[in-house]
Structure 1
């Protein structure tokens, strides 16, 4: 077997491992999110109190994200994602026992560390995904994000089924924690070493020296584009179902179906979009994506009937699908600075993901959530305008 064949096999194995890691991340997220009502019941919380509890996870992730690039630069993606996964498993176990004990404070503390783990996991999986993409020489990042969406879909179905048959959330979380541990012991072994990093005298991986990624104008512009993308995706995830019920006087089941259509369109586009990016280029596809999201949003908001609203939801999902993974690829164009720049772009995107949907909710109190969705048209158009920032640093084959 030639060296070239061995290298191809190693890269393919890394791609499969990264795909599984992305999928597991989505499953973990949905396993928790789909059973939030069970948390409220176990701890006797109202909606506002639950919102505050969920903020603990968000704060944990926001604490971890800015430093995630530095951590990857020091110990590599494999060790970072393994550590992050183990932290998520331990924190998930702590959440389970806190729910059994009925302690809000214990649950809040566990959720904070759960968020830290998720933040590190998110950045390191995107860095590994970008590295695999570089080595393959073709666009594959959208497929990794499709794995996340698919994992979230499966996790939501599992959560609904376990709830229906009466399996408690603590038991559910303990099983998920066990699966995470097994995956993290196996999958990172197949990750590719980061050749862009120098090796220090003590054997540790030394992060490259240079200006802070927070002062790199291209990285910040890509972050703004990703901000528009995450607002687009987050608003659809959180508000399509409710906006369908309020704006079109539809049933809750119909609202759920339109949300499912949005997710399905986004997932399908992520699986298929890599070929379009390779053929037409990242910037062209990014502009087309933001234009599709803008048109889909307008159709959905101003629809006079369910058929037009469904068309709008599908087009919205198609437009929201590729911008975030393309932003991650753009941030990682220079492998030497990929860890720091992906960390910066992820942080900007996560802040938008955290702050955007609640702000739309507050706006919806005054205008109705259906019309409030038009507010995300502004960041969509800004992302469309700045799409050129994602132009590859080197010409792609």
Structure 2
């Protein structure tokens, strides 16, 4: 048991928790500010759905590239400094996305945003884990809930800017200035000292060598099957998140005829109910177990979005996106926990692999939806969402029936 766990957190530890929460909030809100304006950018650049999807793919490509270097960047700069630098740089890249005069600059902005976001994400989680160790109890889920809250606030800011007729350039300059200020304040509240003595293996965002895994775990068909199922569940969750950020506003306006001020509510409904799901997720898992909660989530995605697409309307589509957001809220933490507990793997190895593979969902989803929607219709391409809900239902048996107890500190 840590001293802080037995006597309560110190003032510095409470300040550091606030700092990490601010980093997560800024990260969620910065990108969310451009999401409702993506259809506006698409129209201004005269992009087809396929070219739009290809441009969106630049974000996960950038994240996959830079994610391999996040661990070394943390060791060189420190987790808090890297999180602060990334939190300042990310809205600048998003500004480039918003004011891009040609499609190539739009794609370049997305690539840069992805390259900045991935190490920033790892760094803020690394610093959060340092704070969690000082607290002597789990607090990391609360940071992810704060990220979802930030995304809701960012989406609402953007919807407000659209309703007020604020030019996209001015809107995103305000976004950059606001969250750069938040990052600078958060950095002043950080935990002092080096990361190395306290950094958790799960924050090492470099893929382990195959020889290392082979030495520590006996590769068997059962192990490969279990890991593949966990990765597919995580990818399913990222597909739903990507549909919310990349396509929900476009579908609300073009698919069901929502007004410009109403269209962003599709994304806000998804991310808002994901936030609610993360707030209540720990209690649901404690009561029902990871497997049952995942199955309920998969059913919500399947039925909610399936019904919304079968009977299109503005209220029904909002409910469908809300059901999908709530349904996937606990899936990524569940797969990370399960992957990190696979026998024979060093702690953190399974989690690192799942985290990296999750980005594949963000990579493939825009491509698949863009190509299918150009060949058929956006409504048809969004059938991918209920299909991944069905996939979660089919694969959730690999998850634990009950939530494992936290190890004592």
TM-score by length of 2: 0.72
Question: How far, CA to CA, are the matches of 1:243 and 1:162 in structure 2?
Answer: 20
**Structure 1 position 376, deviation (Å):** 0.9
Q: 1:235 to 1:76 in 2, by over 3 A?
A: same
Aligned length: 377
Answering whether residue 391 of structure 2 is matched by residue 387 of structure 1, we say: no
Q: 1:393 to 1:72 in 2, by over 3 A?
A: farther
1:118 maps to 117
8 Å Cα contact 1:228/1:380 also seen in 2? yes
1:297 maps to 301
Question: How far, CA to CA, are the matches of 1:16 and 1:296 in structure 2?
Answer: 33
Residue by residue, what CA displacement relative to the aligned partner does 1:164-192 show, whole Å, maximum 9, x if unpaired?
A: 32321122222222223222222133333
**Structure 1 position 28, deviation (Å):** 0.9
Pairing partner for 1:266 from 271, 274, 283: 274
Question: How far, CA to CA, are the matches of 1:71 and 1:342 in structure 2?
Answer: 19
**Structure 1 position 94, deviation (Å):** 4.7
- Residue aligned with 2:69, SS: helix
8 Å Cα contact 1:295/1:315 also seen in 2? no
8 Å Cα contact 1:141/1:274 also seen in 2? no
Question: How far, CA to CA, are the matches of 1:52 and 1:291 in structure 2?
Answer: 32
1:82 maps to 84
8 Å Cα contact 2:93/2:110 also seen in 1? yes
Question: How far, CA to CA, are the matches of 2:326 and 2:93 in structure 1?
Answer: 34
- Residue aligned with 2:78, SS: helix
Question: How far, CA to CA, are the matches of 2:388 and 2:113 in structure 1?
Answer: 29
Question: How far, CA to CA, are the matches of 2:294 and 2:91 in structure 1?
Answer: 36
**Structure 1 position 32, deviation (Å):** 1.5
Answering whether residue 158 of structure 2 is matched by residue 159 of structure 1, we say: yes
| Unaligned ranges ≥5, structure 2 | 199-203, 218-222
1:27 maps to 29
1:230 maps to 238
Residue by residue, what CA displacement relative to the aligned partner does 1:262-316 show, whole Å, maximum 9, x if unpaired?
A: 4433221212323445x45xxx643233111222134232588789988776554
Root-mean-square deviation (Å): 4.4
1:204 maps to none
**Which structure shows the bigger proportion of residues in helix conformation?**
1
Question: How far, CA to CA, are the matches of 1:209 and 1:37 in structure 2?
Answer: 35
8 Å Cα contact 1:87/1:113 also seen in 2? no
1:322 maps to 330
Q: 1:76 to 1:23 in 2, by over 3 A?
A: same
8 Å Cα contact 1:295/1:316 also seen in 2? no
Alignment of 1:149-298 (within 5 A): 149-192=148-191, 197-198=196-197, 212=209, 215=213, 223-235=231-243, 252=258, 261-277=269-285, 279-280=286-287, 285-298=289-302
8 Å Cα contact 1:123/1:343 also seen in 2? no
Question: How far, CA to CA, are the matches of 1:37 and 1:369 in structure 2?
Answer: 17
Question: How far, CA to CA, are the matches of 1:67 and 1:18 in structure 2?
Answer: 21
Q: 1:350 to 1:396 in 2, by over 3 A?
A: farther
Question: How far, CA to CA, are the matches of 2:16 and 2:72 in structure 1?
Answer: 22
Alignment of 1:361-372 (within 5 A): 362=371, 368-369=380-381, 371-372=383-384
Q: 1:316 to 1:110 in 2, by over 3 A?
A: closer
Q: 1:302 to 1:40 in 2, by over 3 A?
A: closer
Question: How far, CA to CA, are the matches of 2:197 and 2:22 in structure 1?
Answer: 28
Q: 1:244 to 1:31 in 2, by over 3 A?
A: closer
- Residue aligned with 2:68, SS: helix
Q: 1:227 to 1:135 in 2, by over 3 A?
A: farther
Alignment of 1:96-111 (within 5 A): 99=100, 102-111=101-110
| Unaligned ranges ≥5, structure 1 | 200-206
Question: Which one is further off, 383-392 or 121-130?
Answer: 383-392
Q: 1:194 to 1:59 in 2, by over 3 A?
A: farther
